[in-house]
Amino acid sequence: MKAKVPFVFYTSSQLVQITGKKAAHLKEFVEVMKEVEDSTIFYHIHHAYREHQFAPGAYSNDFAHWVGEELGESALAEKLANLSIKDVTSLSVLRSRIIEIVEEFLNNATEIRRAAPQHEFYFCKNIGFISKTKYQAWDLGEFCEMLKKVGLRSLFFHFFEARLRLNRRTNDFSDWIKADFNDAVLANKIEALDPYVYTLDELRDKIISLIKASQGFPWKKAVKWLSSKLKITQK
């Protein structure tokens, strides 16, 4: 089945800027969090994942890392690291959840720890530059082949940035599959993947596996082969 329009793969590059805002303790952290742009929230939650693909067991975002390593507040750091982001489709909601977690901690804290000089939390933001790649797909088989070829930053753009930074509410892959193939089941299965528990390579493999399973691979080829053998036997 051919799509109404092809899926065109895009990618993005990031220019990181220092905002000039910093926090030495959690009260300052909360105040600055209320002021910074959405791009700052997105950057500090995702940049380690995008650039380095964090190792299992490490703090998965900059906020958790600073709280755990520089303030020594391991319990709070774990809460920030385990923040459920998958179902969040707005950076404003994500910001509110982070602030709520920290404020709840502060309400029960007996002391406010300060980071050592030069170890404050320095808030950054990123400016994204979006560009079209040479890859596009007209059907799901071709889509899988192109997904294997595009860079991981393209996958990151369509699966992460589309949902949160561009407020599309879902990833671009599910949106295309639902709109052009009317396959809500497959689209929902891809959307149900929690990208924060996989590396980008693993996420790509999961998406391809779901698509191939929906298309009947690999048993479809086996049935075709068996049918040809039966025809030969009948002759």
Residue 232 lies in a domain: no
Domain boundary among 77, 93, 125: 125
Residue 150: pLDDT over 70: yes
- Please state, for a pLDDT cut of 90, what percent of the chain lies above it: 70
* Residue 231 placed within a domain: no
Based on the domain organization, do 143 and 114 belong to the same domain? no
Output the DSSP codes for 42-105: HHHHHHHHHHH-PPTTS-SSHHHHHHHHTS--HHHHHHHHT---TT---HHHHHHHHHHHHHHH
Rounded Cα distance, 208 and 144, in Å: 6
Q: Note the pLDDT of residue 55.
A: 47
* pLDDT band, residue 59 (cuts 50/70/90): confident
User: For the segment 152-185, what is each residue's pLDDT rounded down to a tens digit?
Assistant: 999 999 998 888 876 777 899 999 999 999 999 9
* 7-23/121-137 β-pairing: antiparallel
Same domain, yes or no, for 42 and 79?
A: yes
d(CA 31, CA 23): 9
Query: CA nearest 19: which of 38, 46, 45?
Result: 38
Same domain, 162 and 108: no
Among 125, 158, 185, the domain boundary falls at 125
* 6 within some domain: no
Q: What are phi and psi of 132, to 5 degrees?
A: -85, 140
Higher pLDDT, 27 or 166: 27
Assess whether 111 and 140 both reside in one domain: no
Tokens of 131: 């560009």
Q: How many CB atoms lie within 10 A of CB 99?
A: 15
What would the mean pLDDT of 196-208 be, rounded to a whole number?
Answer: 93
pLDDT at 168: 73
Mean pLDDT, the chain, whole residue set: 89
Among the ranges given (43-52, 89-98, 127-136, 225-234), the one the predictor scored with the smallest mean pLDDT: 225-234
* Last-in-domain residue among 90, 125, 160: 125
| pLDDT the model gives residue 232 | 52
Residue 185 pairs in a beta bridge with none
Same domain, 15 and 111: yes
- Predicted pLDDT at 161: 87
Within-domain flag for 140: yes
Number of domain units in the chain: 2
pTM to 2 decimal places: 0.82
Q: How confident is the model at residue 229 (pLDDT cuts 50, 70, 90)?
A: low
Closest CA to 170 of 179, 180, 160, 155: 160
Residues 34 and 63 in one domain: yes
Confidence of residue 196 (pLDDT cuts 50, 70, 90): confident
Question: In terms of domains, do 100 and 165 share one?
Answer: no
Q: Is the pLDDT of residue 11 over 50?
A: yes
182 with 92, same domain? no
What is the predicted pLDDT for the residue at 163?
A: 82
Please tell me the predicted confidence (pLDDT) of residue 217.
55
Among the listed residues 62, 96, 95, 88, the one whose alpha carbon sits nearest the alpha carbon of residue 163: 88
pLDDT in tens, 82-136: 988 888 878 999 999 999 999 999 999 999 999 999 999 999 998 889 999 999 9
For residue 145, being part of any structural domain is answered with yes
What distance in Å separates the CA atoms of residue 61 and residue 124, rounded to the nearest whole number?
13
- 1 domain residue, yes or no: no
56 — pLDDT class (breaks 50, 70, 90): very low
Range of the domain at 163: 136-219
